[in-house]
Amino acid sequence: MLTRKQHELICFISDRLAETGVSPSFEEMKEALDLKSKSGVHRLISALEEREFIRRLPNRARALEVLRMPERGERKPVAKAPKPASAAAAPASPPTPANDVVEIPLHGRIAAGTPIEALEGSTMLPVPAALLGAGEHYALEVAGDSMVEAGILDGDYALIRRTETARDGEIVVALIDDAEATLKYFRKEGAMVRLDPANRDYTPQRYRPDQVRVQGRLAGLLRRY
């Protein structure tokens, strides 16, 4: 049996697909279910996927497919007396932990050395919820060694909180000339913006303020062994 929120979500997705042919956005799902953050939506969708009620369609944004609806007559769960141990019933799917893992978008590979083109993608990366704070987040795979002295290594996943502002000394994703992105310390130097590496073998990069747009601040790192 689905939880009340899972039941509400699959009904909302099914109704929206029937009306428009397009699955609702995470923001629309968050508002429809009166959730405080999109992380809750991610958890509900993951639970419905595990129980094979829905699936995500690869390489398409906002693409969900309803595989099956709850059984006829299934209602919002209410408190019931436990069934006798002898009751012959198929074992239920284990409940999904409420706060262990969330999925955030993985937007390609970012150079921690020389700037490279910023990539966008629809891949989702599972991340321990404890690594993320408030706000909207995405992940970038680090390429290069210019931030090694800050503990950021080639192949790490940088967890980025989306924002357009930064203070001196913060590690940011900076989009340069609307084409290339880099992960560096952000500093103001007179009328210029200076992006500092954390490796003595690299030199700072200086740009006019109109050349640089902050795309987010480093919130955490994920490393796979």
Residue reference for tokens 């595990």: 50
- Catalytic pick among 30, 38, 39, 184: 184
| Number of domains composing the chain | 2
Domain CATH for 177: 2.10.109.10
- Which amino acid appears at position 132 of this protein? L
Residue 11: pLDDT above 80?
Answer: yes
5 annotated active-site: no
Range name among 52-56, 164-168, 174-178 with the lowest pLDDT average = 52-56
The catalytic position among 23, 38, 39, 146 is 146
The verdict on 29 and 112 lying in the same domain is: no
Q: Is residue 146 part of a domain?
A: yes
Q: What is the mean pLDDT of residues 107-113?
A: 72
Residue 79, in any domain of the structure: no
- CA 166 to mean position of chain CA atoms: 21
Sorting pLDDT into bands at 50, 70 and 90, what band is 62? low
For residue 122, the model assigns a pLDDT of 59
Given a cut of 90, whether residue 208 has pLDDT beyond it is: yes
146 is catalytic: yes
pTM over 0.85: no
Write down the pLDDT at residue 74.
44
Residue 157 has pLDDT above 80, yes or no: yes
Q: Is residue 95 part of a domain?
A: no
- Of 107, 119, 129, 120, give the one whose Cα is nearest residue 46: 129
